[in-house]
């Protein structure tokens, strides 16, 4: 967890992206630094996407179980004549 926080902090402190067209004095080292920065951004964003996808899967499973429980409860109410109000 601490590594993720450090990576996010490093990304926030990064330099703005430039190209030789914007600034003809941009060196190969600067471009490599910008590429490294962009890769860190991609890595952090990918981790966030993966975490959120995991949460989504868990929520979908909980919803499916809740719907199954609901259907079971409705079936138990049918014999005693209680109908669900829609």
Is 12 contained in some domain?
no
Q: What is the pLDDT of residue 35?
A: 94
Is 71 contained in some domain?
yes
What does the pLDDT look like over 23-73, one tens digit per residue?
677 788 888 999 999 999 999 999 999 999 999 999 999 999 999 999 999
Q: What is the pLDDT of residue 1?
A: 44
Taking the C-alpha atoms of residue 86 and residue 77, their distance in angstroms, rounded to an integer, is 15
Q: What is the pLDDT of residue 85?
A: 72
Q: What is the pLDDT of residue 41?
A: 97
Is 54 contained in some domain?
yes
Is 37 contained in some domain?
no
Q: What is the pLDDT of residue 78?
A: 86
Domain count, the chain: 1
Range of the domain at 57: 49-75
Count the Cβ atoms, other than its own, within 10 Å of residue 33.
14
**Torsion over CA: 51, 57, 61, 62 (sign):** positive
**Which of 1-5, 33-37, 70-74, 77-81 has the least mean pLDDT?**
1-5
Is 66 contained in some domain?
yes
């Amino acid at each position: 967890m601490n590594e993720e926080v450090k990576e996010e902090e490093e990304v926030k402190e990064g330099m703005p992206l430039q190209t030789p067209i914007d600034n003809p004095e941009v060196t190969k080292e600067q471009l490599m630094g910008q590429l490294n920065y962009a890769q860190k951004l991609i890595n952090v964003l990918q981790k966030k996407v993966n975490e959120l996808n995991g949460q989504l899967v868990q929520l979908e499973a909980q919803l499916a179980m809740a719907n199954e429980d609901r259907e079971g409860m409705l079936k138990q109410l049918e014999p005693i004549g209680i109908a669900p109000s829609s």
